[in-house]
Amino acid sequence: MSQLYNKIVITKKGGIENLKLIQEDKNQLYKNLKQNEAIIKVYTAGLAYADIMMREGTYPGHPPYPFTPGYDIIGQIEYIQENPFHLKKGNFVGALTVTGGYSEYIKLPIEKLMPISYINKNHKIPDIKECAELVSLILNYITAYQLLFRIKKLNSDSYILIHGGGGGVGTALIQLTQYYGFKNTYTTISKRKYDLIQQYNVKPIFYQEESFVEYCKKNHILMDLILDPIGGMHFLDSYKILNKNGVLVLYGTYNFLKQGTLKSMAGVPLTYLRNLFSFNRKKVVFYLIGQKKFGGYNSVKEDFSILVELYKNKHIQPIIDTIYPLTEENVKIAHKRLQEGDVRGKIVFRML
Ligand SMILES: NC(=O)c1ccc[n+]([C@@H]2O[C@H](COP(=O)([O-])OP(=O)(O)OC[C@H]3O[C@@H](n4cnc5c(N)ncnc54)[C@H](OP(=O)(O)O)[C@@H]3O)[C@@H](O)[C@H]2O)c1
């Protein structure tokens, strides 16, 4: 007998009208299931900026349309065979899926599953708020953790500049710098989002009122690590205030919607070239979560388990904007809001 489940697909490249809710037969998921695959009942899936880029057709290497977006999920294992990770049916897990998350069920390779040990030990079913916070740890917090700890060796006196401090990754970065005791953290942020981070010992630079380059020059500050997801000529500006052994990490092209893909991407090679001809010891690095040079999926798993411990012990607290039930209408609203920059924290879809 067929049992239907809901999922969202992007039917073709373009606007939010191409987001559609469809139903599929669950039996199809079980058909041809490989020994190394598990079926997960998804509880929550995160909304990522990359989902918007995939819908717009500007994310490099996205699958052919139609496909289901969804970069990260939290869920419960519904079916699994014996495996070297000792994962069992009923265990709660997270996964960095990259695509496929906006769905009530998902088939995943067992090696991608990241157990949430404190939940599995206590056999406790987490509520939706906890599942929303846990899913926020995956893309946003793992990225933040790796930007701080897997690129440059820092000490508590290092000067760090976090661009976009009011965003999902930005707030995660700020919470982590506070927990790990970095004393010289600066962030570019808009006044409307400052309340999200006001409680932390971070110096704000209100980028809409003052250029961060001027601010740093005026205060004689050079940065040891600059984390820049903005894109375009912003990268070149960041380079201007980099210390002599400093590292500038480019990890997003947030303003591609304002500037267009070409202009926002052009900043990457231009900044590399600028560095190449400078004959100094500054470094420019492009970061993408899960990439081999940052430890691949194994480092994603390791860092997730550290972050789950920090979360369990209340050292970090993901900021949730809204938890939407997974409907076509809600997914369209959520995409529109993220695209317009009208989001404070993470948007999460719930399947229950
Ligand atoms: N490489 C990776 O593996 C990876 C992983 C995760 C995310 N990312 C990328 O990182 C970027 C941010 O993601 P997110 O989830 O944190 O997005 P988000 O929550 O929308 O945050 C972006 C923030 O940037 C702020 N902003 C916009 N223009 C700015 C500027 N010129 N200067 C300083 N801040 C500015 C926005 O706030 P206001 O509009 O209020 O200023 C917003 O708070 C995206 O491009 C995403 O694709 C990359």
**Structure token pair of residue 136:** 């926020």
Q: What is the mean pLDDT of residues 179-199?
A: 97
Residue 230 CA, ligand 1 centroid: distance in Å: 6
Cβ-defined contacts of 306-313 (< 8 Å, 24+): 306/145, 307/137, 307/141, 307/142, 307/145, 308/116, 308/117, 308/118, 308/134, 308/137, 309/118, 310/179, 311/133, 311/134, 311/137, 312/118
Q: What is the pLDDT of residues 202-219, one digit of tens each?
A: 999 999 999 999 999 999
Q: Which fold has domain 152-286?
A: Rossmann fold (3.40.50)
- Please name the CATH architecture into which domain 4-139+318-350 falls: Alpha-Beta Complex (3.90)
Q: What is the mean pLDDT of residues 301-311?
A: 98
Q: What is the mean pLDDT of residues 285-290?
A: 95
Q: What is the pLDDT of residues 107-129, one digit of tens each?
A: 999 999 999 999 999 888 899 99
Residue bearing the CA closest to ligand 1, atom 31: 230
Please report which confidence band the pLDDT of residue 334 belongs to, taking 50, 70 and 90 as the band edges.
very high
- Give the number of the atom of ligand 1 that is nearest the alpha carbon of residue 193: 40
Asked if pLDDT for residue 280 goes beyond 90, the answer is: no
Q: What is the pLDDT of residues 144-173, one digit of tens each?
A: 999 999 999 999 999 999 999 999 999 999
Q: What is the mean pLDDT of residues 334-341?
A: 94
The pLDDT of residue 258: 63
The pLDDT of residue 248: 96
So where are the chain's domains?
Answer: 4-139+318-350, 152-286
Ligand 1: residues with CB < 6 A are 49-50, 139-140, 143, 163-164, 166-170, 188, 190, 192-193, 207, 229-230, 251-254, 287-289, 341, 343
Question: Among residues 13, 10, 7, which one has the least CA distance to residue 261?
Answer: 13
Asked if pLDDT for residue 262 goes beyond 70, the answer is: no
Mean residue pLDDT across the chain? 94
